[in-house]
Structure 1
Amino acid sequence: MRPTQILRGGGGSAPLGKHDHYLGDWGNFGGMKQKGIVSYGIAPNRQHPLAGAAHDAIFNTWRRFSAQVLYWAPPMIAGYYLINWAVERNHYLNSKAGRAEFGGKEE
């Protein structure tokens, strides 16, 4: 007859299997190496996965920014000056001096 699940879960020195071998109480494993028990470990150099992340983020961001800034900065600056000119021109044309100069006609 097989031992019950309660006997397998610990509970002292109850024999388990045909070799009268048991795993032991909770937290006190002993005896021969058991089949099917897998343990995992982590290497010491992998225990700090975010080590240097802030430092690398700053310099990686700067590297990527400096590589792309000439693609988007000149059109952004030109667009800013164009919009600024259009707003100032609109304010002038709708002012008293602009209406007097152009007299209701648009250039």
Structure 2
Amino acid sequence: MFPTRALRSGGGGGPIGKYGKFLGDWGNFGGQPQRGIISYTVSSNRQNPLAGTLNDAIFNTWRRFSSQVLYIAPPLLLAYYALSWATERNEYLNSKAGRKEFAGDE
């Protein structure tokens, strides 16, 4: 086994690096703070988190609806037409005229 693997495994906590500096175990890195990194943020009371929400919601909803309507509408219309035809046919066959017309078929 190589000594570097044992040192970098995190169990021993031995010296690591060129000058034998200990970086710390996982979650406990005790190194020097980095320099030269600049980050900018906007104060939370200066942000507008709902800016453009209503406008984006309307156009996003329309875009999603228009891209899916041709997949949903034709089967729904076909199912509605078939259901209404079947309901009318059932009502006719169970009426006096329907029973009289198809009485001998059974």
Q: TM-score range by the shorter chain?
A: 0.5 to 0.7
Q: TM-score, normalised by structure 1?
A: 0.56
User: How many corresponding residue pairs?
Assistant: 66
Structure 1 unaligned blocks of 5 or more: 1-40
Hey, what does 1:88 align to over in structure 2? Answer: 88
Equivalent-residue separation in structure 2 for 1:98 and 1:77 (angstroms): 27
Distance 1:57 1:81 in 2: 33
**Counterpart amino acid of residue 100 in structure 1:** K
TM-score by length of 2: 0.56
CA RMSD of aligned residues (A): 2.3
Q: Percent identity?
A: 66
User: Runs in 1 of length 4+ with deviation above 2 angstroms?
Assistant: 41-44
The Cα shift of 1:86 comes to: 0.2
Query: How many Å separate the matches in 1 of 2:90 and 2:104?
Result: 13
Question: With CA pairs under 8 Å and 6+ residues apart, which has the higher RCO, 1 or 2?
Answer: 1
Which has the greater radius of gyration?
Answer: 1
Stretches of structure 2 that go unaligned for 5 or more consecutive residues are 1-40
User: How do 1:1-107 and structure 2 match up within 5 A?
Assistant: 42-43=42-43, 47-103=47-103, 105=105
